[in-house]
Amino acid sequence: MPLREILLTLPNRPGTLAGVARILAEKRVNLAAISVDSTTGKGRVHLIAGDPDRATRLLSEAGYAVEVREMLAVRLEDRAGSFLQVLDALAKARVNIQSVVILVAREGNQPLVALSANDLAKARKVLERAGFASRLSVEGHSNDELIAAAPSIPFESVGLHL
């Protein structure tokens, strides 16, 4: 099963994100990444959960409107400018990025970033040819396998366990 992110649009007010965190924490849903941004009145939350089906079900049952989007894990060199090479390769191929999330997991000693794009199949081909696609994405690993790949961090305590 491919890597997937969960997207929520929430009211931008105190305690709203805590409500989401409480639901996931009570059911011990682990996260590999979270990203939050807001504008006047609305906040957008991106989650990469160990069990996205379960997290989606729990959040939907709690009344949240949930969107799920497939992502691709990208392996980077741990140096300035390495992500620029990924962006340049995708721009040259006319692939538009929709979201980017830095992951807890690494592949060997290389950091991993997940991204979604308007044409994920094309993005995958471009990044595989350029040597950026993570083995986790190429082999079709799931979210829980990605979290389990986090080095020296037990599955139950990735650090983003809300």
Domain spans, the chain:
4-70, 72-148
Rounded (5°) CA angle 99-102-103: 120
Rounded to the nearest 5°, which phi and psi values hold at 152? Answer: 55, 20
Listed ranges 75-89, 95-109, 147-161; the one with the highest mean pLDDT: 75-89
Please state, rounded to an integer, the average pLDDT across all residues of the chain.
81
- Alpha-carbon span 141 to 36, nearest angstrom: 25
- Comparison of pLDDT for 109 and 48, the residue scoring more: 48
Helices (H), 7-153: 16-26, 52-61, 82-92, 120-129, 135-138, 143-148
Say whether 72-148 and 4-70 share the same fold. no
pLDDT tens per residue, range 129-157: 888 877 665 565 556 665 565 544 444 43
Sheet of 31-39, strand order: 31-39, 42-49, 4-11, 66-70
- What pLDDT, in 10s, does the model give residues 26-47? 999 988 788 888 888 888 999 9
Entry pTM: 0.74
- Sheet of 72-75, strand order: 72-75, 110-117, 97-107
Share of the chain above pLDDT 90, in %: 35
* DSSP helix/strand/coil, 5: strand
pLDDT at 114 over 80: yes
Q: Residues 118, 119, 120, 123: is their CA dihedral positive or negative?
A: negative
DSSP-assigned letters across all residues of 99-122: EEEEEEEEETTEEEEEEEETTHHH
pLDDT band at 20 (very low <50, low <70, confident <90, very high): very high
> Can you give the pLDDT at residue 76?
83
pLDDT (mean) for 7-25:
91
- Which position has the higher pLDDT, 93 or 138? 93
Task: Write down the architecture of domain 72-148 according to CATH.
Answer: 2-Layer Sandwich (3.30)
- pLDDT of 89 > 50? The answer is yes
**CATH superfamily entry for domain 4-70:** VC0802-like (3.30.2130.10)
Give CA–CA dist 55/77, Å, rounded.
31
**34 bridge partner residues:** 47
